[in-house]
Structure 1
Amino acid sequence: MSTVSPGAIQAAQDALDAHVREIIAWHFSPETGCPFWLDWAKSADFDPIKAVTCAADLAKFPHFQDEWLRDLPNEVWVPKPYTGRPFFVFETGGTTGMPKQRIGWDDHKHDYEEFSAGLDDKFFPKGGNWLMLGPTGPRRLRLAIEHLANFRGGSCYHTDLDPRWVKRLIADKEFETAKKYKKHAVEQGATLLKHRKISCLFTTPLLLEALDEYVNVPDAGIKGVFCGGTSMNPQTVRFLIEEILDNRAQFVPTYGNTLMGLAQSRPVTREDNYSITYHAPQPRAVLRIVDPNDTQTTVDYDTWGRVELSTLTKEFFMPRFLERDEALRRQPWGRFAWDGVGEVRPFGALETKAIEGVY
């Protein structure tokens, strides 16, 4: 166990509080704010700039509603200094129907450049090429992985993959067609690995397991695997590390999405029984584990609760969004002087079965 000193924890909290003040001032000042938050403040029962002076004060906001990102025109989210600058439109990769959309300019670049600093050059070599075997199309992840590869001096190969189509097939009980589509996606990746020099891979747990049926991943030249997908229990993680990667390629899981960016994991070890803990990219985003029945209350350490996300960048302010995930609240660790979230899984996973498709 890597303990964090009280001084480091306080310094991280002070930095977060200062960042919150800066972001609130940006989004609620007429000179810099976006139409949505400036209009929202007119009918609020508090003045955000005066009343929100630290991270704890974010609790004064109501929960952010995902319908706002489905139903409202994207232009309401443009901060004044970005007016007239074309924006990216990123969609969440989950449900069918009208998706949640987040606009952006450079946030995905900042998030992945920060993430890059934590990668081990031995396993994710500078100048090495990447394969992105995961959701493509309008997903933030597609551009972000390519930027990560370019930022580290390499190029990125891609496959075609629409996760919504897989979810629809599963919902309609067309399981054989879903398997055929997954096979199609994985065969694309295997073909690229056989014919191109690639040393780094991004994929999901299910696709990584399926890829092993077509090619031995370490033998194909992969030294590091960056793996996304929220539900990775210890048994799955152990299987991927020991059986699929044969302990020869580094396994780096992440908990990320279009609204947050990506949370980084602690090193995954046998000593921790392959249990994954993620830490948010503070101060750009904050994760809390809250009591589902009283979301003002943070649960105790090593207790299950619902994941609450606040995103705090100049491009996007999203306070107190309740994710469709639950997790264990974990203590600060190592260079992460703030709480972590452990063993993330779909909210209510023990009561209901979520459709996760290729994740």
Structure 2
Amino acid sequence: MNTADTSISDEVAKLAAEAKDRLNEHTLKTVHWHFSEDTGSPFWLGKKAELNFDPLTDVKSFEDLKKFPLFEDEWLRGGPLARWVPKGHAGKPTFVFETGGTTGIPKSRVVIEDHWKDYELFSDTLPDKYFPRGANWLMLGPSGPRRLRLAVEHLAQHRGGTCFCIDLDPRWVVKLIKKGWMEHLEEYKKHCVDQAVTVLTAGHDVQCMFATPKLLESLGEALEERGTSLQEVGIKGIFSGGTEFTPQWTRFCVEEMLGGPAEEGGVYMTPTYGNTLMGLACSKPITAADGYKISYYAPQPRAVTEVVSFDDYNQPVGIGETGRVKLYTLTDEFFVPGFMERDEGEREAPFEMYPWDGVSGVRPFHELASATTVGVY
């Protein structure tokens, strides 16, 4: 979280220092919650004995999280899930959200209310002009044991609307790709898009939606074939997410599919970057003047992203330099003191809206890229 190596304004530097103080305070509170006998989870209370330091006395700031070993995703494969539930939340209803699971046992995360809180914070960043309060939503993305589906539904409800969802199994999509069954893949994509078209043309007053980039493009084409468009069926605001979100795709989407920037075409689109572990990182507003560059900022202090050296995962790279994305999750439901994402990108400087480090150019980590199957994302 070092911001000394960038030329930011005095005002942003002041905001960044205040944000760092809040992060340090939040880190201390989170660590004490997860490692105290009366509130901690069985998993972290068990891990405590394996550590060569005492989290309750030796963690005094966010930087001290580097004392922990890296979080291993294998810890999340298989049960019992109860070991992840903090004692301080015992007895509360729990959700379980899974990752891809295309090979072997999927990673599972127990959640109580984190997905609601994350999307309520995200809601505060959406302009009401394009995401009207009370409007209904369409969720054109993965269903099943995915956090995203329930989170988008809560977002719609939080803003006073109802969410219409489609059936989409991303595990089947990945299987089709791996088998090379591209004709089947196209039919399945068409099946998903047809469901969305049905909702949008049924008089449900859907004005807002989530879609992955690939599905959004296919939806636009399907509507065009029917002689209509996203604008004509009533869509005003779109939030989207996935590794397919590149400046090139964004330029195409805004200029070709949406008829220009929101003030011209009438549709506002905001990219997001998220996953089951972290939640949702918002994008700095995208503009043609900035070459449609997409920079993501995690929802500090609940989650933090760093861009770190490929050779030393405890060393952040300089502003504008390339590195691997490192994630921290710091909520009272879930604690991740450093997890190496399957992504890389460039470190971005703090700015007024998000006075902490961001990441741009997110793409599969080059050492793993050949083994990554993107699917619907």
- TM bin, normalised by shorter chain, reads over 0.9
Deviations 1:35-68 (A, max 9, x none): 0100111121000111111111111111100010
Determine if contact 1:279/1:339 at 8 Å carries over to the other structure.
Answer: yes
Please give the secondary structure, in 2, of the residue aligned with 1:59: helix
Determine if contact 1:96/1:168 at 8 Å carries over to the other structure.
Answer: no
Partner of 1:99: 106
Partner of 1:306: 324
Distance 2:242 2:234 in 1: 23
Partner of 1:345: 363
User: Quick check: 1:203 aligned with 2:221?
Assistant: no
Determine if contact 1:231/1:343 at 8 Å carries over to the other structure.
Answer: no
Q: What TM-score results when the alignment is normalised by the length of structure 1?
A: 0.97
Deviations 1:227-262 (A, max 9, x none): 011231111010111111112200111001111000
RMSD: 1.5
Distance 1:334 1:93 in 2: 35
User: Quick check: 1:266 aligned with 2:270?
Assistant: no
Determine if contact 1:93/1:135 at 8 Å carries over to the other structure.
Answer: no
Give structure 1 stretches of 5+ with no counterpart: none
Please give the secondary structure, in 1, of the residue aligned with 2:343: strand
Determine if contact 1:302/1:330 at 8 Å carries over to the other structure.
Answer: yes
User: Quick check: 1:46 aligned with 2:53?
Assistant: yes
Partner of 1:153: 160
Distance 1:302 1:334 in 2: 18
Tell me the matched-pair count: 359
Q: What TM-score results when the alignment is normalised by the length of structure 2?
A: 0.92
Counterpart amino acid of residue 251 in structure 2: R
Distance 1:222 1:257 in 2: 25
Determine if contact 1:94/1:163 at 8 Å carries over to the other structure.
Answer: no
How many Å apart are 1:292 and its aligned residue?
A: 1.8
Determine if contact 2:344/2:363 at 8 Å carries over to the other structure.
Answer: yes
Distance 1:69 1:34 in 2: 14
Deviations 1:202-222 (A, max 9, x none): 000000000012111111100
Please give the secondary structure, in 1, of the residue aligned with 2:222: coil
Distance 1:90 1:112 in 2: 15
Distance 2:369 2:28 in 1: 40
163, 171, 175: which one aligns with 2:178: 171
Determine if contact 1:96/1:164 at 8 Å carries over to the other structure.
Answer: no
Distance 2:342 2:233 in 1: 36
32, 37, 42: which one aligns with 2:39: 32
Distance 1:353 1:239 in 2: 27
Determine if contact 2:12/2:352 at 8 Å carries over to the other structure.
Answer: no
Partner of 1:288: 306
User: Quick check: 1:77 aligned with 2:84?
Assistant: yes
Deviations 1:319-352 (A, max 9, x none): 1111111111000022101000101111118963
Distance 1:233 1:258 in 2: 21
How many Å apart are 1:99 and its aligned residue?
A: 0.7
Partner of 1:242: 255
How many Å apart are 1:197 and its aligned residue?
A: 1.5
Determine if contact 1:231/1:344 at 8 Å carries over to the other structure.
Answer: no
Please give the secondary structure, in 2, of the residue aligned with 1:333: coil
User: Quick check: 1:213 aligned with 2:221?
Assistant: yes
Distance 1:212 1:85 in 2: 42
Determine if contact 1:231/1:346 at 8 Å carries over to the other structure.
Answer: no
Distance 1:2 1:300 in 2: 13
Please give the secondary structure, in 1, of the residue aligned with 2:77: helix
Determine if contact 2:283/2:294 at 8 Å carries over to the other structure.
Answer: yes
Moved more, 95-104 or 174-183: 95-104
Q: Percentage identity across aligned positions?
A: 52
Give structure 2 stretches of 5+ with no counterpart: 1-6, 224-228
Distance 1:219 1:343 in 2: 32
Please give the secondary structure, in 2, of the residue aligned with 1:23: helix
111, 115, 135: which one aligns with 2:118: 111
How many Å apart are 1:97 and its aligned residue?
A: 2.7
